[in-house]
A and B are shown apart, each in its own frame.
Chain A
Amino acid sequence: MSSAENTAAAAAGEPGLAQRLGERRGAALALALGALVFIIGMIVPLFGARWVNDVIAVIAAGFAVHGALSLYDVQQRAPQWYLLSLVVVTGFLAIAYHSGLSPTDAGGLAFSLGDALSSGAGSWTQMTINGLAMGLLIFIMASGMTLTFGLMGVLNLGHSAFITIGAYVLMTFLVSDWGRGLSGAESVVANVGLLALVVLVALVIAGVVGLLFERLIVKPVYDNHLKQILVTVGGGIIITQLIIAISGPNEVQLNQPATLSGSFIVGPVVVETFRLVAVAVGAAIFWGMLRVINRTKVGILIRAGVQSTEMVEAMGYRIKMLFIAVFMAGSALAAVGGVFWGLYDTLIHPEIGGLRLFQIIIVIIIGGLGSITGCFFGALLLGLLSNYVGFVAPEVAEFSSIALMVAVLMWRPQGLIPVIRM
């Protein structure tokens, strides 16, 4: 259905639920069928093996949620919200179902609604917080890559090296004597101050390296995608090897700053403090980026540049300066992401950025190459989905992100929020 028809339908007044049920028989059927199977599975777990019940419950729940969302056309109107709510609600149902199932003495399986609601809701809340934290951290790391692609058409596969830079700046500070003192002190001011300093230094270093990278490595190959891929891979190798030469090849275990580590308990939920910090920082950065892009002159130029660089140049702006600025900002953001990922992971090693590249790429593909909002939703989806799946079926958790990417690509080959210039 085209968007014009949608607007027409909206103008004619929102139809009521009864009318929708009549019009969208397929969606209503999916909702009813999914709910039916799910409820049957709740009353009588049909199969002996727990995972078979889980799989059926997940499929049924997904079907039902899809049906409910389709009743309101969410799929067409806002694919990102459709997918997010599909994952979150199905995740809740699946986790609740998984928690409610327990083996009986007779050797079968029994479902208890009480268990499902109490322990399932707790687990779900926890997984949601974890997923948000992970997703937002990945968003910070991925946003620079998607922005440089959207604006300059440069796919920077060396982006992960900037993450490593951030992580190593963090490490350098935290293992130094006074850094250890500040980070070990039970004082929020000392901890946050240290962290702020680390972020500042990481921003500056990554910004400068980003400037050099753009001038020396990317600039000569702006109009050649093949060479870009090759050259940025090479540049990434060079930066990573330089980091190793400066900081040594060994893994380093870090301690999180005293007041930001540990966890506290709210009802059935164990919340790690640092995850909340990560959520707050990630949300703040996303908000800040949106502000900059939507409300400032630079933001207008960036958005205009994404659509047509020639036009921006024709208006008399120096697009090259914009390119440099965005590249530096993207690299700096990657380093900030690296700082927080380093704190989150606590194990710093030269491959810390390279290992994230996989998730970053999935996120920017899901979101639609070049789209900040898409990247944000992609990151949330990836974080939430891998945590939910990790709770229900840890074996396939890491594979879930690939499945997500394949599904999104089959559905919308350009990603959730396609950018015009592709």
Chain B
Amino acid sequence: MFDTILSGDYPKSKVLNTVLLAIFFGLALGPFLFDGAVAFSTITNICIFIVLVASYDILLGYTHIVSLAHTMFYGIGAYAVAIAMNSMGPSWGSMFVGVIGGVLVAAVIALLVGLLSLRVKALFFALVTLAVAVGFGILISKFYAITGGEQGLGFRPPRELGPGFKLFEERWYGFNALGWLWNLVTDPGNLGENTKQAVFDVRMSGRIVLYYVIFLTTVGLFLLMLRMMNSPFGRVLKAVRENEFRAEALGYRTVMFRTINVVIAGAIAALAGAMAAMSDPWVTPDSYLSLGVMVNILLMCVIGGMGTLYGAMVGATIFILAETYLKDFMEVAYDLTAGFFNALPEWLSWLSFIHELISPDRWYFWMGLLFVLSVYFFPAGVVGQFRAKELESQIADSEEGASRTEPA
């Protein structure tokens, strides 16, 4: 059964299996496992970015197409939903119009970009897409009558997906497992009290419905992409990546395959954008179209592991958790070291910029560093690293086995 669901493409590492299962169940039961608004938006974001990064991975990882316009498609999806909901009112109909419209527009633009520039080399494609994406951002800012300009565009989601809607009247309970475990370690004597504290109320509002819509879409799209990349189509893409000339000589129209891939990736990114807009109904150029978002996608894709799709899952989770919680840790470290840096003598005061680097606002510096280091030392990302380990141990096992059965 798993063969069918995962299209025969297993994570191929025990540790990785555990990590992925943890992510999956963490997201599936998320609203009942983590308490609070921050945690809720974090798990929503993780779902959305898994789709977005996975759709980027089928470009970058499977085909080595460096597109820097992925945020454009993401933004198209978001803006399409926002514009449709704004002009047609908060109903399911307008939501579907927005989603479908966004996907179609994204696909058409992806086709144009692909046809215009895929014939040229990888670098050129990166540059052209970057220019087109920035231009699109400018366009969005200029046409403020439709898009709200720099300010962004707000809308009301359908009632059933809003916080005002009640799915069930009765109370549901969640269990703050992490907090419970933490207290179990720090204060094991107080088990009863601790357990009582860990239980929290879950309001079965439209937000929960929305979350599960997003979660199920994420699962569906992820499995779809897995299926696609393990189909003959995906294999041709890999062939194009490894040796385009040879793939062409074998009779595959490589430009067509690459263009189709760009179109599919663009359409899926638009879906991710639509989901993001639904979860936070305020669409701004800054949060959807800026170069920063693009770089984040790149970071997630590379850190997780290119060309594996599971890497998108791991990368998005690591990155968004870091984005949300690394700052807290850095804040603690910043405050802890404040005494030391303040006590520095006058002639060493220039060292305080090191202190500044630990400040929570500079978390991006460490992400950049991690990114560069991971490109050098783990080019296959977290997933690739685990797989390599597993392979090593398997080889070691089989060698051991072989030496044991060998007659002396």
Contacts and interface: CB of A to CB of B under 8 A. Distances in A.
B130 A358 contact: yes
B368 A237 contact: yes
B365 A241 contact: yes
A149 B353 CA distance: 33
Contact of A395 (B117, B120, B142, B379): B142
Contacts of A422: 121
Interface string B249-279: 0000000000000000000000000000000
A413 B298 CA distance: 27
A354 B127 contact: no
B62 to A, nearest CB: 12
Q: Is the interface of B mostly helix, strand, loop or mixed?
A: helix
B372 interface: yes
Interface in B98-119: 116-117, 119
Given A226-B64, A365-B131, A234 B372 contact: yes
Contacts of A413: 119-120
Given A362-B131, A365-B131, A246 B356 contact: yes
Contacts of A361: 127, 130-131
Contacts of A217: 372
Given A217-B372, A358-B134, A395-B142, A229 B364 contact: no
B117 A409 contact: yes
Contacts of B117: 409
Given A230-B371, A246-B356, A405-B128, 7 more contacts: A225-B66, A230-B375, A237-B365, A238-B368, A241-B357, A242-B353, A361-B130
Contacts of A238: 365, 368-369, 372
A410 B116 CA distance: 8
Contact of A233 (B116, B298, B353, B364): B298
B376 A245 contact: no
A364 B123 CA distance: 12
Contacts, number: 108
Contacts of A365: 124, 127-128, 131
Interface of A: 149, 155, 217, 220-221, 225-227, 229-231, 233-238, 241-242, 244-246, 249, 354, 357-358, 361-362, 364-365, 369, 395-396, 398-399, 401-402, 405-406, 409-410, 413, 422
Nearest to A394: B142
B138 interface: yes
B372 A229 contact: no
B202 interface: no
Contact of A398 (B116, B138, B302): B138
A374 to B, nearest CB: 14
A227 B120 contact: no
A2 B85 CA distance: 56
Q: Is the interface of A mostly helix, strand, loop or mixed?
A: helix
A225 B122 contact: yes
8 contacts: A220-B376, A238-B368, A238-B369, A245-B365, A365-B124, A369-B123, A395-B142, A399-B142
Interface of B: 60, 64, 66, 116-117, 119-124, 126-128, 130-132, 134-135, 138-139, 142, 291, 295, 298, 302, 353, 356-357, 359, 361-362, 364-365, 367-369, 371-372, 375-376, 379
A245 B126 contact: no
Given A217-B372, A245-B357, A409 B128 contact: yes
A395 B368 CA distance: 36
Contact of A226 (B66, B367, B369): B66
A410 B117 CA distance: 9
Contacts of B120: 413
Contacts of A405: 128, 131
Contact of B362 (A155, A229, A245): A245
A406 B135 CA distance: 11
Contacts of B367: 237
